[in-house]
């Protein structure tokens, strides 16, 4: 199948903000369905995701189909003007499939065969699963292609969520074939994996295994290739179903729901190329302080995956989830605040898991749009109020969020950092990345995320806090961009290895040394709880303190901005700044305390010519969406318990405690 460019693909456009959720009518007697539809209308629901886990109801026995119930509910929804996001049900293979194919059950890294009774019980590389999934998808697509209510196809559900890596024999064979395709010769594999280490040389692809639980840590390159393979194996599953649906129903857009920023099993830069509209699921970690910052990050990452185009929030929760330790209910107003924060950052649809709270099953205590307590509830009233509010925001659809700063995000770095055996267990993909993101969030700067090889010309500031893997080409991309005037901020353990995981030699951070103007001879990680003082060498950045990390760093063109005055790095630069071509490159060879990190990132923004908002109250999120004709939608989101006054374009806008104001300026 030829790959369609983004502009050629079918577009998702309801003409208004999509509002609704996963709808599982098969969990309820049919008498409830008309009530459901009436309530959906009351709540302003205009889109539901249907059939996500319905395989066993649609194909109760192999090759025997029952679409009657689905026809009836689709008919009811259609009559009521509610559109359908129709799912292929392949995330829940039926019991008969497991019985006929016991060898298709997924196997864990330690060799445990996972049983039936949950969902996603399948091996992504199984030909039997591929065949059965293709058959139900074909039947479904044939039956509902062209149905006027079906405006979107939803392939599977959350690829890579429960079943992400399978270690069964079918996976072993598929992994070997994938390696043979990638490396062509086993010598090339040996070179890429550095198998001279610990005498792991392979003479044949058939000698290679998946990286199982072993006496010691498995070869990191083998581990990372297995993650690449596993992402690709799931992508093949997606493409198979997508292509069947596309052939039957070419004009209706197709998507699948990502979990950007929540789980990291898929290389979503690749996946995003394969969907017509990017869709995302996001759940707050209820007990986490400032969890709305994580929401913003996920939304910004999703928008970036969508190439700046509008995207769909396919799932979030109206209140508590059921899968965390303490499933804390959302406070009054939090539902709308969360939903509107996603809308602010580029979503054109606000959907929930799920419409009606289940009576049975694992998720019976998960919140929904219709709670167990019914419609005489605060939660239902908030659901209805949100629907009414979104109904008035249709002009937001299609508008864009503009960012002049970007953070490099790359699953290759994430997977490599996950392998362990690094200089400190404090090193992790999200550790610095979240610290940088939170700092910019508090400063009021909206950011995109970018792949390290992306075109950076639209950005003035690029942050690379966690770009552990840096290929020569990616380094060259950054080099050219800084040389022509960009401001780069890099943190420790960035630019360290190539895409095979081999260390760039000659001093750290090998791939970026010339850009940063530094050369590190040795890493000097700090112990947990150890805090060291930093002396200032730049009038703009006050002295402070740092934790986690230090380096035996030598200046090679850069100037020291802060220097360790104690600890293993005493006397060594901790933060440096380097003029490179027309641009500037900052390097943070430690984890500064919050106010020092703030000061450094503010100075980098100044270098980049980015003006940060002034006078904005703390805890208030302000994001602007801009229409093609110049209309502006300013979302002012008050995450505090106090009413606040936000300066906006010469006006003072009051935003009540915990509420959201959307200020529209039309041209």
Site residues (vs ligand GLA, CB under 6 A): 157-158, 281, 283, 315, 321, 353, 363, 366
| Residue whose CB is less far from ligand GLA, 366 or 519 | 366
What's phi and psi for 510, nearest 5 deg?
-45, -45
Instruction: Give the shortest CB-293-to-ligand GLA separation in angstroms.
Output: 20
Q: Using an 8 Å Cβ cutoff, are 238 and 159 in contact?
A: yes
| 3 state DSSP class of 412 | helix
109 is written with which tokens?
Answer: 């890294």
Structure tokens at 321: 């989830």
- Report in angstroms how near the CB of residue 157 gets to ligand GLA at its nearest: 5
| Of 433, 560, 499, 8, residue with least CA distance to 246 | 8
Q: What angle do CA 557, 560, 564 make, to 5 degrees?
A: 135
The CA–CA distances, whole Å, from 283 to 296, 311, 488, 622 equal 11, 17, 31, 21
524, 568 contact by CB (below 8 A): yes
Closest CA to 388 of 26, 22, 40, 44: 44
Q: Measured from the CB of residue 369, what is the shortest distance to ligand GLA in angstroms?
A: 13
CB of 259 to ligand GLA, least distance (A): 7
Active-site residue, selected from the candidate residues 241, 315, 382, 431: 315
Structure token digits, residue 543: 């002295």
Number of C-beta neighbours around residue 303 at 10 A: 26
Nearer residue to ligand GLA within complex by CB, 154 or 625:
154
- Let me know: does 136 contact 97? Beta carbons within 8 Å: no
Q: Which is nearer to ligand GLA, 156 or 624 (CB)?
A: 156
315 tagged catalytic: yes
Please pick, among 158, 241, 412, 621, the residue that the annotation labels catalytic. Answer: 158
Helix H or strand E segment including 244: helix 220-248
CB of 161 to ligand GLA, least distance (A): 7
CA dist 490 and 116 (Å) reads 46
* Separation CA 209–CA 205 (nearest Å): 9
Query: Could you tell me if 224 and 244 are in contact, meaning their C-beta atoms sit under 8 angstroms apart?
Result: no
Minimum distance, C-beta of residue 17 to ligand GLA, in the bound complex (Å): 20
Cβ-based neighbours of 341, under 8 Å, separated by 6 or more: 292, 295, 296, 299, 621, 623, 635, 637, 660
Instruction: Using the minimum distance from each CB to ligand GLA, give the nearer residue, 92 or 463.
Output: 92
Report, in Å, the least distance between residue 302 CB and ligand GLA.
14
Query: Catalytic residue at 382?
Result: no
Q: Which is nearer to ligand GLA, 321 or 610 (CB)?
A: 321
As measured in angstroms, the least distance from the Cβ of 315 to ligand GLA is 5
Q: Which is nearer to ligand GLA, 226 or 353 (CB)?
A: 353
Least CB distance to ligand GLA at residue 628 (A): 33
For the chain, the straight-line distance linking the first and the last C-alpha, in angstroms and rounded, comes to 43
The answer to whether the beta carbons of residues 455 and 480 sit under 8 Å apart is no
Nearer to ligand GLA (CB atom), residue 263 or residue 565: 263
Beta-sheet pairing, 400-401 with 347-352? unpaired
Strands (E), 53-92: 83-87
Of 315 and 382, CB closest to ligand GLA: 315
Residue whose CB is less far from ligand GLA, 44 or 160: 160
CB atoms within 10 A of CB 374: 11
Report d(CA 551, CA 529) in Å as an integer: 18
- Dihedral Cα 534, 536, 537, 542, nearest 10 deg: 140
Whole-number minimum distance, CB 22 to ligand GLA, in Å? 6
CB of 86 to ligand GLA, least distance (A): 16
Q: How many CA atoms lie within 13 A of 405 on its CB side?
A: 28
Rg over alpha carbons for the chain, rounded to the nearest Å, is 26
Q: Which is nearer to ligand GLA, 158 or 300 (CB)?
A: 158
Widest distance between CA atoms in the chain: 76
Q: Which is nearer to ligand GLA, 98 or 322 (CB)?
A: 322
- List, in order, residues 6 or more apart from 83 with CB less than 8 Å away: 14, 18, 46, 47, 48, 77, 149, 150, 151, 152
DSSP state for residue 114 in the 8-state scheme: P
**Which residues are tagged catalytic?**
158, 315
């Amino acid at each position: 199948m030829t790959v369609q460019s983004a502009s050629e693909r079918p577009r998702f456009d309801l003409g208004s903000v999509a509002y609704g959720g996963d709808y599982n009518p098969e969990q309820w007697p049919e008498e409830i369905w008309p009530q459901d539809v009436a309530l959906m209308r009351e709540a302003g629901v205009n889109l539901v995701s249907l059939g996500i886990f319905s395989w066993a109801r649609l194909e109760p026995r192999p090759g025997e189909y029952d679409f009657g119930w689905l026809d009836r509910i689709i008919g009811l929804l259609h009559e009521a003007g509610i559109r359908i996001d129709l799912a292929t049900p392949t995330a829940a293979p039926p019991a008969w499939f497991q019985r006929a194919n016991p060898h298709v059950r997924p196997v864990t890294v330690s060799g445990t065969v996972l049983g039936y009774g949950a969902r996603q019980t399948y091996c992504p590389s199984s030909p039997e699963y591929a065949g059965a999934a293709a058959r139900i998808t074909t039947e479904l697509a044939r039956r509902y292609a062209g149905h006027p209510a079906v405006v979107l196809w939803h392939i599977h559900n959350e690829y890579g969520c429960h079943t992400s890596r399978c270690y069964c024999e079918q996976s072993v064979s598929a992994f070997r074939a994938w390696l043979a395709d990638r490396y062509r010769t086993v010598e090339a594999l040996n070179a890429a994996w550095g198998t001279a280490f610990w005498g792991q040389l392979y003479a044949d692809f058939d000698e290679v295994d998946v990286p199982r639980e072993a006496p010691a840590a498995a070869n990191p390159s083998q581990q990372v290739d297995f993650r690449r393979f596993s992402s690709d194996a799931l992508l093949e599953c997606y493409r198979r179903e997508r292509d069947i649906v596309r052939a039957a129903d070419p004009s209706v857009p197709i998507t699948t729901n990502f979990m950007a920023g929540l789980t990291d099993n898929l290389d979503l830069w690749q996946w995003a190329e394969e969907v017509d509209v990017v869709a995302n699921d996001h759940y707050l970690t209820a007990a986490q302080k400032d969890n709305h910052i994580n929401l913003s990050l996920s939304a910004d990452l999703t928008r970036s995956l969508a190439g700046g185009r509008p995207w769909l929030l396919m799932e979030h929760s109206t209140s508590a989830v059921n899968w965390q330790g303490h499933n804390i209910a959302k406070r009054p107003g939090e539902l709308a605040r969360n939903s509107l924060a996603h809308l602010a950052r580029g979503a054109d649809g606000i959907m929930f898991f799920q419409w009606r709270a289940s009576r049975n099953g694992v998720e019976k205590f998960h919140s929904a749009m219709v709670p167990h307590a019914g419609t005489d509830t605060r939660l239902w009233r908030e659901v209805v109020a949100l629907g009414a509010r979104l109904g008035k925001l249709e002009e937001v659809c299609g508008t864009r969020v503009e960012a002049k700063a970007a953070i490099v995000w790359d699953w290759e770095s994430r997977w490599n950092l996950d392998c362990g055996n690094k200089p400190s267990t404090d090193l992790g993909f999200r550790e610095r990345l979240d610290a940088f993101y939170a700092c910019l969030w508090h400063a009021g700067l909206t950011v995109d995320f970018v792949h390290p090889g992306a075109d950076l010309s639209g950005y003035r500031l690029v942050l690379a806090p966690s770009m552990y893997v840096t290929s020569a080409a990616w380094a060259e991309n950054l080099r050219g961009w800084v040389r022509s005037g960009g401001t780069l901020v890099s943190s420790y353990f960035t630019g360290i290895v190539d895409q095979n995981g081999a260390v760039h030699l000659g001093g750290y951070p090998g791939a970026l040394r010339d850009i940063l103007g530094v050369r590190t001879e040795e890493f000097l990680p700090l112990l947990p709880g150890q805090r060291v003082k930093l002396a200032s060498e730049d009038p703009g950045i006050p002295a402070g303190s740092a934790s986690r990390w230090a380096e035996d760093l030598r200046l090679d063109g850069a100037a020291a901005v802060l220097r360790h005055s104690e600890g293993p790095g005493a006397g060594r630069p901790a933060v440096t700044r380097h003029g490179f071509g027309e641009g500037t490159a900052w390097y943070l060879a430690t984890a500064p305390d919050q106010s020092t990190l703030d000061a450094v990132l503010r100075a980098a923004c100044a270098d980049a010519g980015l003006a940060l908002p002034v006078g904005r109250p703390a805890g208030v999120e302000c994001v602007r969406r801009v229409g093609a004709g110049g209309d502006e939608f300013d979302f002012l989101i008050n995450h505090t318990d106090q009413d606040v006054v936000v300066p906006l374009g010469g006006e003072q806008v009051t935003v009540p405690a915990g509420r959201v104001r959307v200020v529209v300026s039309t041209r």
